[in-house]
Amino acid sequence: MNLIPVETRAPAEVRAPRMGALARLPVFLALEGKRVLVAGGPPAAAWKVELLLAAGANVDVYAGEPSPELLAVIEEAQRGSATLHRREWRDADCIGAAIAVGAFEDDAQATRFAGSARAAGVSVNVIDKPKFCDFNFGAIVNRSPLVIGISTDGAAPVFAQAIRAKLEAMIPRGFAQWVEAARRWRDSVKVSGLSFNGRRRFWQLLTNDAVRRPDHEPDDADLSRLLDVARAEGATVERGSVTLVGAGPGDAELLTLRAVRALQSADIILFDDLVSSEVLDFARREAKKMLVGKTGHGPSCKQSDINALTVELARNGKRVVRLKGGDPMIFGRAGEEIEACRKAGIAVEVVPGITAAQGAASRLGVSLTQRHHARRVQYVTGHAGDGELPHDLDWRSLADPSVTTVVYMPVKTLDALVTTAIEHGLDPATPAVAVSRATRADQASISAPVSLLAARVEVAELPGPVLVMVGKVFSAVEERSATNAHSPGADAQVN
């Protein structure tokens, strides 16, 4: 048997892209006890005064004719202070203000107000007039001390409000008390005797607790418990850790919450070629990202080098995320990496991901275990370590008419695999489908009887990664493909 030479490559750091252009720089102002100027008395000014009071500001409101809404906000102030001056604002009123907010009907008034504020060195906002604004307020999700601001630079306030509504539904109100507890406990953690890595581990444990029990009100018993856990991990924390994370088949929205938390707490991310850039966008920006991927019959990092690098980084106290396409436990060589970590005494855990097969089946709308068509599902690899068709495949199992077979890494050996399976009894008319870049925006698929699939895949030159699935459950896909090669809004199909 001739071995196919494989070009090796070394793990290489991949620089994160620079921050894209920002219409506005998001900042959070500390206004407690500071003087803020608000000019004008319409209802629109009332909401801004309410926000400023909620931040603890001392608000001077200048309005000759304040609206009932504004009067009610001033009267009901529970934080900060509000003083109503029943007159129009003057240039001298801007002096000493932290910020200035104006509510005016016409541009002439807005121009004069903005100019006066800037002359006094004060940043200005004119309500609903973006061209006069040095800053804007945006939509707010309030879980104070956790506060989220959303801005569209004044282009689409309704859109910002829609996003705020979604975040309100997603973020438990109980997070506020967890963040408040973190503020109370910060000094205690600093003097706890924990090392830097131990303290960071404490905050990770607190975050995990908050996610699991968002409605629990944390108390001193929780502080003691979390400190004890962080201390108990001791040397394990100092050695660092490794987390194998499944990135899913490509669509970043298929990441699990646990995968996102791992990416956002990582020091270093070792990722494969199959991981999409959209998934990497979820990583902590400060995390170092290193490509350690393998490509079919192309440049590949040696598995032994990946194992050694992973262990070395963890021994240096780093939190390492090994990010793999699909699920790390399905043809991801996870076993070898787990064994290497355990032999080195490195803490290792696995965060499963959506498999490529699950993602492809979901987009095709096919149940892999559809009743009357499939009693089981089997995953097989299309090539062995030498790049050739594996010699130890169970051909009788592949020929079973009541099984759904998913073939990973199939392209180079697909013709030989199908030919041999047919020789062992696989019906040449069995429906089959090849899916390229499953779940991604450019997903494409080819459906055909299994005996014809290899030739059609070769002609189509589908970009990787490609997955082949065989079984009666795909008969509906073949029928749809025959009647409608490319439906509007559907994945690209090649017949």
- Over residues 29-44, the pLDDT tens digits come to 999 999 999 999 999 9
Q: Are residues 199 and 258 in the same domain?
A: no
Over range 177-192, report the average pLDDT.
96
Percent of the chain with pLDDT over 90: 68
Percent of the chain with pLDDT over 70: 93
**Cα–Cα distance between 52 and 29 in angstroms, integer?**
10
In this prediction, residue 130 has a pLDDT band, given cuts at 50, 70 and 90, of confident
Residue 164 lies in a domain: no
Q: Are residues 407 and 442 in the same domain?
A: yes
Q: Are residues 404 and 463 in the same domain?
A: yes
Q: Can you give the three-state secondary structure of the chain, one letter per residue?
A: CCCCCCCECCCEEECCCCCCCCCCCCCCCCCCCCEEEEECCCHHHHHHHHHHHHCCCEEEEECCCCCHHHHHHHHCCCCCEEEEECCCCCHHHHCCCCEEEECCCCHHHHHHHHHHHHHCCCEEEECCCHHHCCCCCCEEEEECCEEEEECCCCCCHHHHHHHHHHHHHHCCCCHHHHHHHHHHHHHHHHCCCCCHHHHHHHHHHHHHHHHHCCCCCCCHHHHHHHHHHHHHHHHHHHCCEEEEEECECCCHHHCCHHHHHHHHHCCEEEECCCCCHHHHCCCCCCCEEEECCECCCCCECCHHHHHHHHHHHHHCCCEEEEEECECCCCCCCHHHHHHHHHHCCCEEEEECCCCHHHHHHHHHCCCCCCCCCCCEEEEEECCCCCCCCCCCCCHHHHHCCCEEEEEECCHHHHHHHHHHHHHCCCCCCCEEEEEECCCCCCCEEEEEEHHHHHHHHHHHCCCCCEEEEECHHHHHHHHHHHHCCCCCCCCEECC
Q: Are residues 246 and 202 in the same domain?
A: no
Lowest mean pLDDT segment, chosen from 52-56, 369-373, 414-418:
369-373
Residue that finishes a domain, picked among 119, 137, 155: 137
Please give the mean pLDDT across all residues of the chain. Answer: 89
Exactly one of 129, 294, 318, 324 is catalytic; name it: 294
Residue 294 lies in a domain: yes
Residue 294 is predicted with a pLDDT of: 65
For the cut 90, the answer to whether the pLDDT of residue 155 exceeds it is: no
In this prediction, residue 476 has a pLDDT band, given cuts at 50, 70 and 90, of confident
Q: Is 294 a catalytic residue?
A: yes
Q: Is 220 a catalytic residue?
A: no
In this prediction, residue 225 has a pLDDT band, given cuts at 50, 70 and 90, of very high
Domain span at 406: 357-493
Q: Are residues 287 and 361 in the same domain?
A: no
Q: How many CB atoms lie within 10 A of CB 366?
A: 20
- Over residues 424-447, the pLDDT tens digits come to 999 999 999 999 999 998 999 999
Residue 209 lies in a domain: yes
What is the domain count for the chain? Answer: 4
Q: For residue 465, say if its preceding peptide bond is cis, omega within 30 degrees of 0.
A: yes
For the cut 50, the answer to whether the pLDDT of residue 488 exceeds it is: no
For the cut 50, the answer to whether the pLDDT of residue 487 exceeds it is: no
**Cα–Cα distance between 468 and 57 in angstroms, integer?**
63
Residue that finishes a domain, picked among 83, 111, 137: 137
For the cut 80, the answer to whether the pLDDT of residue 331 exceeds it is: yes
Q: Are residues 375 and 469 in the same domain?
A: yes
**The two three-digit tokens of residue 271, written as one number:** 């990722």
Residue 22 lies in a domain: no
Residue that finishes a domain, picked among 329, 354, 379: 354
For the cut 90, the answer to whether the pLDDT of residue 234 exceeds it is: no
CA dihedral (464, 468, 473, 477) positive or negative:
positive
In this prediction, residue 84 has a pLDDT band, given cuts at 50, 70 and 90, of very high
**The two three-digit tokens of residue 472, written as one number:** 């009666």
Over range 227-254, report the average pLDDT.
88
For the cut 90, the answer to whether the pLDDT of residue 153 exceeds it is: no
Residue 316 lies in a domain: yes
Q: Are residues 247 and 230 in the same domain?
A: no
In this prediction, residue 1 has a pLDDT band, given cuts at 50, 70 and 90, of very low
Q: Are residues 489 and 361 in the same domain?
A: yes
Q: Are residues 372 and 332 in the same domain?
A: no
- Over residues 272-326, the pLDDT tens digits come to 888 888 899 899 888 999 998 766 555 678 889 999 999 999 988 888 999 999 9
CATH (domain of 280): 3.40.1010.10
For the cut 50, the answer to whether the pLDDT of residue 408 exceeds it is: yes
Exactly one of 60, 93, 272, 400 is catalytic; name it: 272
Full-model pTM: 0.69
Over range 364-370, report the average pLDDT.
93
Residue 240 is predicted with a pLDDT of: 83
CATH (domain of 372): 3.30.950.10
Q: Are residues 187 and 267 in the same domain?
A: no
**Cα–Cα distance between 67 and 338 in angstroms, integer?**
67
How far from 142 is each of 1, 150, 184, CA to CA, in Å?
66, 11, 19
